[in-house]
Structure 1
Amino acid sequence: MANRKKEVYKPKPMTEGKRNIIQGLLQEYDIETAADIQDALKDLLSGTLKELMETEMDDHLGYDRYERSDKKNYRNGTKQKRVRSKYGEFEVDVPQDRNSSFDSKVLPKRQKDISAIDDKIISMYAKGMTTRQISETIEDIYGFEVSEGMVSNITDKLLPQIEEWQNRPLASVYPIVFIDAVHFSVRDEGVIKKLAAYVVLGINEDGKKEVLTIVVGENESSKYWLSVLNSLKNRGVQDILILCSDGLTGIKDAISTAFPMTEQQRCIVHMVRNTLKYVANKDMKVFAKDLKTIYTSPDEKNALKQLKLVTEKWEPLYPHAMNRWKENWDAVSPIFKFSKDVRTAFYTTNAIESLNASYRRLNRQRSVFTSSQALLKALYLATFEATKKWTMPIRNWGKVRGELTIMYPDRIPE
C-alpha cells in the first residue's frame, strides 16, 4: 500500500468567472511566487472569517452593522486574534460588543486553531460521503469553499496510519478467522472495474473480534491467498485453528501451505445461498428447510444421510444444485465435531456481517470510487467506525473456547 500512486487532484475546467477571480488576485496581491499564493489564501480566509463573524454579530445585536438602534448593547470595534490553520498562522479582526457577550460560533473565544476542520472532513469521509458531498457540506455550514482536491489531500494524510495499521503486530494464535468479501466499483485509468475488498477478521483468545487486515484484490489464486496468509505470519500469527470462508479460488491450497494444521470450514450461509441460486422461487423455502436438516444434524453420519435424502429429492428438478455439497464435504464436515451452540460461532460469517453492512453503506453513498486508494481510505475509516462497539466477546465464548481446547489440545495458550 505504501507504493500506491498518490491520487492527484485534477483542476476543474477554467471558466470566465475563475479567470476574473485569478486576475483580481494577481492585481490585489502582486503574486509572483507560491509563497505569495499562500499569503493570499491566508488573507482571504481571514477576511472570510471576519465577514462571517460580522454577520453573527448582526444576529446577536438584533440589527445590521450600519443600522441605528436604541439598544444598550452595540458594536465596540474589533480585537485581533492570531489563528492557526492549514495555511499557516494569520491575524483575524474579531468583532466586539460593549457588553462582551458576543461569542462567535465560527471562531469561539478560546479557539485559536481552525485546522480541526480536517477532523470534520475525515469524519464525513468515514461516514461514506464523497469528496464532492463533503465539499458542498463544508460550504453550506461554514460559508467557504473547500475543493474536492483539498478534501482528497486531507484524507491522504491517513495513508501512513493505514500502512501502520496494516503492518501492526498480531497475536500468535487466533482460534477462529473469517475471510469475506464485499465488491465495489472502482475507476482505473478511465475504466470502471469491479474490485473485491477482502476482510480478514479474527476471533482472539479472549473471544473478541479483531480486523486483521483488509486487502483489495482482483484475481483470486493460490498464490494470491498464500501472500495474504504469509503476511499474517510475518506479523506474528503462528496458528489458526479454524478458518471460515466462502469458496475462494485457491484458498484451500494456500491454507494447507501457510498453516498446515488449520482446518478450513466453508461458510454454511454462503453454501445455502449459492445452492438456492439454482432453485426456482416457488421451491426456495422448502429447499432451504431441507438443507437445514444437513448442517444441523447431530453428527457427520446423520448429516451424510440427510445429504443423500435431500439430493435424491431435488436432483430430478435441479440436477446440479447439490454438487457443491458433495465436492466440498471435507470443508463442510468439521462443524459436526462440535455442539450445535458452538457451531454457530464459525460455520457462518455472522461475526463479520455487521462490518460488511458498514461497507455496503459506502456502496450506497458512492456508485464509483475514484481509485483503489480512495476505496482503501474509505474502508479503513468505516472499519474504525464499526469496530468502536466491539468491546465484548462473541456469544457463548466460554463454551466455544472450551470445546476448541478439547478438539485442538495444546494449541490455545492457557
Structure 2
Amino acid sequence: MAKEKTSPHKVVMTEGKRDIIRGLLSEYDIQTAQDIQEALKDLLGGTIKEMMESEMDNHLGYEKSERSDSDDYRNGYKPKTVKSRYGEVEIEVPQDRKSTFEPQVVKKGQKDISDIDSKIISMYAKGMTTRQISDTIEDIYGFDVSEGFISDVTDKLLPQIEEWQNRPLDEVYPVVYIDAIHYSVKDNGIIRKMAAYVILGLTCEGKKEVLSLSVGDNESAKYWLNVFNELKNRGVQDIMIICADGLSGIKEAITTAFPKSEYQRCMVHMVRNTLKYVPNKDMKAFAADLKTIYNAVSEDEGVKARDRVTEKWSSKYPNAMKRWVENWDVVTPIFKFSKDVRKIIYTTNAIESLNSSYRKLNRQRSVFPSDQALLKALYLATFEATKKWTQPIHNWGPAYGEMCIMYEGRLPD
C-alpha cells in the first residue's frame, strides 16, 4: 500500500495540543471566532508574564519560592499596556528592588509586540498614505495608530536610504539610463510638481542596478554635473553610453564628467514627443515612418529616412521633425550597432518595469506631504520592484560582445 503523503502545511494535532484546546474551551465561554481572539489575547498576557518570571529568576539567581541572602529581590509588578496582533494587551512586568532587571521578551520602552513596524513599511512600500495605513491597522488589529507614529516608523528608513545612496558602485557601466517621473508634493503649504530622477545602470554582467534616486525641480548643467560627480565619488570611472530624454543641461554635464561617454537620446521619448500634437488619425502612420529612421542600416540611410519623413509631414506638422534635426548628433550613436543591440541601448524600456511601480505611487497618492515622504516611498518601491532582478537582460551576450569591440580596451573581457 502506498504511503499517504502529508502536506507540509497540514496541522498535526498532537495530544498536547488537544489538551490545550480542551482547557481553552473549559476556561472560556467560546462561541465565536472573536471569542477565540479574546481568549488568545488573555493567554498572551499570562504567557508573557510567566516568561518574564523565568527571566527574573535568571537575573536574581534564585526562583520565586527559594530563599536567598542576595541584597536584590523581587519588588512586585508594574502594569504595562502593549499592542499586539490581537489588540491591546495588559501585562504585568516583574520588578526588582535595584531596578536592574532588563526583560527581553518585552523590552523596556517597547510598546508593540506585533511586528507592526514591518507591516507599516510594507504598506508604505505599496504606496498607501499614512491615513490609509492608520485606518487599515485599526480595522485589522483593533487599535489606533496615529499618522505621526507611522511617520516615525518610516523615518527609520532615512539612515538606510542615505547608506544606500552612498554605497560603492562598479568602476564601469556599459549603459546607464536616466529617466524622470513627476509627482505633486506639498512644499510650505503650496502644492507643486517635483521630478524624481532615477539612474539605472547595466552592469558588465548585463544585470540591472538602480544607481541613484533623487528628488528635485531644478534641472540644469550644474545639477546634472553634481549628480555625475556623486557617481564618480562612489567609484564609477567610465560609462560607454548614457541614454536619457532631453533633460535640460544633461548633455553639457556628460561632456564634463564623462568626456568619453556617448549621449544617446531615448527613441521612445523622441517618438512620443514628436507625436504629442499629432491627431489619432495620423499617429499610426507617422510612428511607422519615424521607425524607418532609427531602424536604418546606417547613419547615412538614417539621414535620408529623416529627410523623407520631414518632407512627407512638414506641410501638416511643420515643427514636428525639428527636434530630429537639432538633436541628430545624439540620435546617431545607435547606428554603429546591430538592431538587437540598438533596442537595448536607445530606449529606456529597461527602466519601464521600475517606472510602472513608481507610477502606482501617483495613483495611490494625489499629493505627497513632503519631498522626504516621496523619497521614502520611492526607495521602498525600488526595492519591491528590483527583487526579481537576478538575471542578465535578454540578448546581453551579443550586445556586450559588440560593445567590447566598439569601445576597445574600456570594458573588461
- In the superposition, the TM-score normalised over structure 2's length comes to 0.77
Aligned to 1:171: 170
Note if 1:285 corresponds to 2:284.
yes
* Superposed structure 1 runs of 4+ greater than 4 Å apart: 56-61, 75-78, 89-94, 104-108
1:79 Cα deviation after fit: 2.6
- Kindly indicate whether residue 324 of structure 2 is the aligned counterpart of residue 357 of structure 1: no
Matches within 5 A, 1:82-121: 82=49, 114=113, 116-121=115-120
Structure 1 residues 107 and 342: CA distance shift in structure 2, 3 A = farther
Q: Deviations over 1:218-246 (max 9, x none)?
A: 01110000000000000000000000000
Who is 1:276 aligned against? 275
Q: Give the count of matched residue pairs.
A: 337
CA displacement at 1:114 relative to structure 2: 1.0
Q: Give the match's secondary structure for 2:345.
A: coil
Does 2:406 align with 1:402?
A: no
Pick aligned residue for 1:62 from 24, 30, 35: 30
Equivalences for 1:13-412 in 2 at 5 Å?
61-63=29-31, 79-82=46-49, 114=113, 116-412=115-411
Kindly indicate whether the alpha-carbon contact (under 8 Å) linking 2:88 and 2:143 is maintained by their aligned counterparts in 1.
no
Secondary structure, counterpart of 1:81 in structure 2: helix
Deviation at 1:270, TM superposition (A): 0.2
Cα separation, partners in 2 of 1:90 and 1:327, compared to 1, 3 Å: farther
Q: Give CA-to-partner distance per residue, 1:262-290, whole Å, 9 cap, x none.
A: 00000000000000013222111110010
Deviation at 1:62, TM superposition (A): 2.9
1:107: how far off?
9.7
Q: Using the TM superposition, give the Cα deviation of residue 356 of structure 1 relative to its aligned residue in structure 2, in angstroms.
A: 0.5
Q: Distance in 2 between matches of 1:316 and 1:114?
A: 70
Code of the aligned partner of 1:62: I
Change in Cα spacing, 1:93 to 1:191, as seen in structure 2 (3 Å) is closer
> How far 1:410 moved relative to its partner?
0.7
* Other structure's SS at 2:331 match: helix
Query: Cα–Cα, structure 1 residues 59 and 137, in superposed 2: closer, same or farther, change >3 Å?
Result: farther
Q: Secondary structure at the match of 2:181?
A: strand
Which 5+ residue runs of structure 1 have no aligned equivalent?
1-55, 68-74, 95-103
Is the contact between residue 81 and residue 92 of structure 1 (CA under 8 Å) also seen in structure 2? Answer: no
Distance in 1 between residues matched to 2:28 and 2:398, nearest whole Å: 63
Given residue 205 of structure 1, which amino acid in structure 2 is its aligned partner? C
Equivalent position SS for 2:48: strand
Q: Summarize deviations over 1:18-69 as a string: whole Å, max 9, x none.
A: xxxxxxxxxxxxxxxxxxxxxxxxxxxxxxxxxxxxxx989985348xx9xx
Q: 8 Å contact 1:81–1:91 — kept in the other structure?
A: no
**Contact kept? 2:184, 2:368, Cα under 8 Å:** yes
Q: 2:109: which partner in 1? A: none
Quick one: structure 1 residues 60 and 295, their matched pair in 2 at CA, closer, same or farther if it must change by over 3 Å? Answer: farther
CA contact (8 A) 2:86 2:141 kept: no
Alpha-carbon distance, 1:93 to partner:
10
Distance 1:78 1:287 in 2: 70
What SS does the corresponding residue of 1:79 show, helix, strand or coil? Answer: helix
Contact 1:207 1:394 in 2 (8 A): yes
Residue 299 of structure 1 contacts residue 337 of structure 1 at CA under 8 Å; is this kept in 2?
yes
Structure 1 CA distance for aligned equivalents of residues 250 and 390 of structure 2 = 30
How far apart, CA to CA, are the structure 1 residues paired with 2:349 and 2:28?
Answer: 53
Which residue pairs with 1:51 in the alignment?
Answer: none
- Given that residues 241 and 262 in structure 1 are in contact (C-alpha distance below 8 angstroms), is that contact kept between their aligned partners in structure 2? yes
Distance 2:25 2:145 in 1: 24
Cα gap change, 1:58/1:123 in structure 2, threshold over 3 Å: closer, same or farther?
farther
Return closer, same or farther for 1:78/1:379 CA change in 2, 3 Å cut-off.
Answer: closer
Task: Give the deviation of 1:346 after TM superposition.
Answer: 1.4
The 1:211–1:59 alpha-carbon spacing in structure 2 relative to 1, beyond 3 Å, is farther
Asked which structure has the greater CA Rg, the reply is 2
Q: 1:92 deviation in Å?
A: 7.2
TM-score of the two chains, using structure 1 as the length reference: 0.76
Indicate how the Cα distance of structure 1 residues 93 and 213 shifts in structure 2: closer, same or farther if over 3 A, else same.
closer
**CA contact 2:181–2:196 (8 Å) conserved in 1:** yes
